[in-house]
Structure 1
Amino acid sequence: MTESEIFEQLKKIVAENFEIEPEIITMDSNIVTDLDMDSIDAIDMVAELQKKLGCRFSAEDFKAVKTIGDIVRVISGKV
Structure 2
Amino acid sequence: MDKKEIIQITNAFLVEEFEADPEKITPDANLKATLDLDSLDYIDLVVVIENNFGFKVNPEDFQGISTFQDFYEYVATRIKQKQLV
TM-score normalised by the chain length of structure 2: 0.80
Deviations 1:13-39 (A, max 9, x none): 110011112122111121222332222
Inter-partner Cα distance in structure 1 for 2:62 and 2:54: 17
C-alpha contact (below 8 Å) 1:7/1:27 kept by paired residues: no
Runs ≥4 residues deviating over 2 A = 32-35
Q: Structure 1 residue 60: deviation in Å?
A: 2.3
Normalising by the residue count of structure 1, what TM-score does the alignment of the two structures yield?
0.85
Counterpart amino acid of 1:51? N
- One-letter amino acid of the structure 1 residue matched with residue 56 of structure 2: R
Contact 1:6-1:72 within 8 A present in 2 as well: yes
CA RMSD of aligned residues (A): 1.4
The 5 A counterparts of 1:1-79 are 1-79=1-79
Matched positions, count: 79
Which has a greater percent of helix?
2
Aligned partners of 1:47, 1:24: CA distance in 2, in Å?
Answer: 22
The change in CA–CA distance for 1:39 and 1:31 in structure 2 (over 3 A counts) is farther
Instruction: Please identify the structure whose Cα radius of gyration is greater.
Output: 2
* Greater RCO structure (CA 8 Å; 6+ sep): 1
